[in-house]
Structure 1
């Protein structure tokens, strides 16, 4: 007996989010579609939120071996979108070595529009194989805040960078705004963590991570992230440098240390002490107008607290996208 219902035109794991600016100047979802194992949920938008909020989920809390996710996002001019998750994206083990779990994201951000993508980290289980490609195309005045991070696995089960392979690639492109113009690649950030195919003589993946439980990348681009990008660059410049010498006399140093500190100086001193205690290493650089921050930490919570503290201290992400955009890094 044939089904009376028409066949679906979408493929398993396919999804699409389209966000527009409503007449009342509030960002609103125009359409949200998805197919198993992908799931997208968006609460009602209100003016106080600052952006449309979408939860990126999967049935069962993770991706099973061989799952394929293909999500496209289109943000219309002046609209804003925040994408978050409800916990670690778990990558379950691959039963066979040639079965790869994949997740692809394609994003177009139009003139004056903005995306804030601050999810929980990816958690690959032992013997899992995972690849993700995220491509972002931004108009000249578009903005983006992207966080991409991966953990060592399930520490409660003794996992410590024991997955087979994790590959992540982020590309940021300047869109062709005028007729005849060409798209221009601004940043291509690729990370390959492979424990199964390491050349002879090199340390294991676990040894090469040097005690870090999590590593990640934060990419900032556009006018809405300009001040937070400058904040990261300034704080990185203020970090103590190896081999740096203090040429002050003992008397001058004692006076400087006894002098009252400003709130930002006290916050920085406390943060530096925590970075040393929690083994947080990080760097920041301007790459073709994109601020790229690389970081690692001894624990997942230390990294989460560090990212959240930095973004909350500067404040512009919460201002532009609303406090709900930061729920995964609080």
Structure 2
């Protein structure tokens, strides 16, 4: 049980999740966070725990530093979600309290000042036979926003991992298409001390002139959503096999036009360490539907109700949309 004294030790913008099992039921030994981070856990299933990671105000502002530490003990299963896209507001001169404890040692050189960057760090430790399903909504950076995200996963050989990391072009309805200043995302997977994967995405404008902003949009055109998906472990073997066979069937076909969805799948190493899947879509909803269908075997693992909470849209509509692609 988390006490007020232990909460006081968490810096502003920090959070801790510790999940274990007792009698076949998921049980939190700690679930705590400080402003502007908030953690909520609805009880849907006894054997699978769900946590929503939210922020007060519906997004992050320049200077915010979120640092979440997650421990999944032996045999436990955790589904970590967000409620709506992670909105990163434009650079501001003001700073919230959460910027005081920030640390940007992992930030590449030549970046904006620390007070201008929004940082989100997540450190995961998954013990033997544990499972983590990280299925957040995409990151949406507003005009002129700068965002760094660093996620590190320390896992045992027999754990299962579903890692979804995706970003949108911005607020298309307001004419904001790839006009943020910077988006930097790192995902590192370490299996019992050995790094098996490190995926880095950097999208950045060198200056604030609109002409340069258009160049970034032109490079990423016609797509407005990019996703990276890492799958590993026995619980997702069925999903990996299905997607691998599906990709082998379509990769031999010549594409004459740009599809609404493009995707690829690649093995991680040579020791059956999982796969990395990359998806690009003209619309965010297209990518969401593709992911919903591609990961549908997870329904048998986490339950139908829990799974549909991850994508919170009509499953039938997604199935119909993917059948037409």
TM over 0.5: yes
1:307 matched to which residue of 2? Answer: 291
Over 3 Å counting, the alpha-carbon distance change for 1:304 and 1:243 in structure 2 is closer
| Deviation by residue 1:208-259 (Cα, 9 ceiling, x = unmatched) | 1121110010100111111111211111111153559xxxxxxxxxxxxxxx
Over 3 Å counting, the alpha-carbon distance change for 1:72 and 1:7 in structure 2 is closer
1:318 to 290, 299, 323: 299
Does the residue aligned with 1:204 lie in a helix, a strand or coil? helix
| Deviation by residue 1:256-298 (Cα, 9 ceiling, x = unmatched) | xxxxxxxxxxxxxxxxxxxx78610100011121210001100
Q: TM-score, normalised by structure 2?
A: 0.81
- Pairing 1:328–2:313 present: no
2:16 matched to which residue of 1? Answer: 16
Shift of 1:144: 0.6
Q: After TM superposition, list the pairs within 5 Å mapping 1:239-318 onto structure 2.
A: 239-241=250-252, 279-288=260-269, 289-312=273-296, 315=297, 317-318=298-299
Over 3 Å counting, the alpha-carbon distance change for 1:202 and 1:94 in structure 2 is closer
Equivalents in 1 of 2:143, 2:202: separation in Å?
16
- Pairing 1:147–2:146 present: no
- Pairing 1:59–2:45 present: no
Over 3 Å counting, the alpha-carbon distance change for 1:7 and 1:144 in structure 2 is closer
User: Unaligned stretches of 5+ in structure 1?
Assistant: 176-182, 245-275
Provide the alpha-carbon RMSD of the alignment: 2.3
Equivalents in 2 of 1:118, 1:20: separation in Å?
20
**Are 2:239 and 2:295, in contact at CA under 8 Å, matched by a contact in 1?**
yes
Work out the number of aligned pairs and report it.
Answer: 281
Q: Computing the radius of gyration over CA atoms, which structure comes out larger, 1 or 2?
A: 1
1:26 matched to which residue of 2? Answer: 25
Equivalents in 2 of 1:7, 1:304: separation in Å?
35
Shift >4 Å, 4+ stretches: 200-203
Q: After TM superposition, list the pairs within 5 Å mapping 1:1-330 onto structure 2.
A: 8-23=8-23, 25-44=24-43, 46-47=45-46, 50-95=47-92, 97-98=112-113, 99-175=116-192, 183-196=193-206, 204-241=215-252, 279-288=260-269, 289-312=273-296, 315=297, 317-323=298-304, 324-329=306-311, 330=313
Over 3 Å counting, the alpha-carbon distance change for 1:277 and 1:328 in structure 2 is farther
| Deviation by residue 1:100-130 (Cα, 9 ceiling, x = unmatched) | 1000000000000000011110100000000
User: Unaligned stretches of 5+ in structure 2?
Assistant: 94-111, 314-325
Over 3 Å counting, the alpha-carbon distance change for 1:45 and 1:279 in structure 2 is closer
Equivalents in 1 of 2:143, 2:45: separation in Å?
41
Q: Which range moves more in the overlay, 134-143 or 235-244?
A: 235-244
Equivalents in 2 of 1:226, 1:6: separation in Å?
39
Does the residue aligned with 1:120 lie in a helix, a strand or coil? coil
**Are 1:116 and 1:325, in contact at CA under 8 Å, matched by a contact in 2?**
no
Q: TM-score, normalised by structure 1?
A: 0.80
**Are 2:205 and 2:213, in contact at CA under 8 Å, matched by a contact in 1?**
no
Equivalents in 2 of 1:143, 1:287: separation in Å?
14
